[in-house]
Every structure is written in structure tokens, then in C-alpha cells.
Amino acid sequence: MVVYSFYIFDRHAECIYKKKWPSRPTSTGSRSQQANGLPDGPPQQKALSAEDDAKLVFGTIFSLRNMVRKLGGEDDRFISYRTGQYKLHYYETPTSLKFVMVTDTKTNNLRIVLHQIYVSLYVEFVVKNPLSPVEHPRGIGVNCEMFELGVEQFVNASLMR
């Protein structure tokens, strides 16, 4: 399984943590070139900034979560969605923190994994840390080395086998 990125959003729609992992090269990823040296096919899209990327992810989960609630009622929950390129996994805590992980399409549901990250890493290293702010105003994110190390080790040990 390949994990592309991981985000945490607070209840004010601010991205308080983001982590991206480099994508692994694939053998089918080579593209043929025309005689002038340009690749065949559609042009590559310009990469988004980290802030714009986080806003796009939050907008997507906000819209999909609202659509699921309107179509299915209050009891239905938005868990994940899949495209041809990736799968987005979603977990919302009782305090309205939103944990989002983007993986390859072959990955099973990671709701339990996101809950484990919340309980065993976020609560232990961020919430219980007296130096960590309770609120993250103006996008000031999680700045805890132990949390970052824990996320890295957890993802590498559990998901990227």
C-alpha cells in the first residue's frame, strides 16, 4: 500500500498538520516523447502549493460529508471515496477534528487506523502536552516532534509494508 499524504483539520477548517510522502516510481509511469522532445498526451498540471492543496482537500471532504448527510440522513457517515488515481479516507473526532489520509486505490478502509492515530498519537503527544496550544489560530499547526516522529513510524510500520 502507498500512502501519499495525511492531514489534520481543526474545527475552524484550518489545516493544523500535513505530511506528504514521496510517491514511489512505477514501471508503467514512463511516457513516450514526440520528435520535439515533449511528452505525448495531456500536459502536466501545475503543482498546488501546500496551503492550496490543504484547502482543496478540506473543501472536498466538507462537500462530500454534507452531501452524504443530506442524501442519507444524520445517521449516515462519510468514510472514504475513491477515484481512478487515489482513495481518500476520513475520520472525524467528537471534538470536530478531521483526520484525512490519501492512499492508493487498492487500500481498504483506514477509518480504524485514523482513529488509532488520533487516540495513540494525537491525544498522547499533542493534547496531553502542556506546551501545545489548545486552539490553533490562523493556521498555526501542530508543532510536536514526538507526534511527527510517531506518525512517520506508525505509517511506515503499519501501512507501507
Instruction: List, for residues 116-140, the tens digit of each pLDDT value.
Output: 999 999 999 988 888 777 776 665 6
Strands 98-103 and 3-9: what pairing?
antiparallel
How would you list the strands of the sheet with 15-20, edge to edge? 15-20, 3-9, 98-103, 87-92, 80-82
| Cell triple for 149 | 516522529
What is residue 90's predicted lDDT score, i.e. its pLDDT? Answer: 93
| pTM tops 0.85 | no
Using CA atoms, how far apart are residues 37 and 34, in angstroms rounded to an integer?
5
Split at pLDDT 50, 70, 90, the class of 36 is very low
| pLDDT exceeds cutoff 70 at 33 | no
- Residue 104 pLDDT more than 70? yes
Confidence of residue 47 (pLDDT cuts 50, 70, 90): low
* DSSP codes joined into one string, 120-146: IIIIIIIIT-TTS-SS-GGG-----HH
Of 101, 106, 83, which is closest to residue 91 (Cα–Cα)? 101
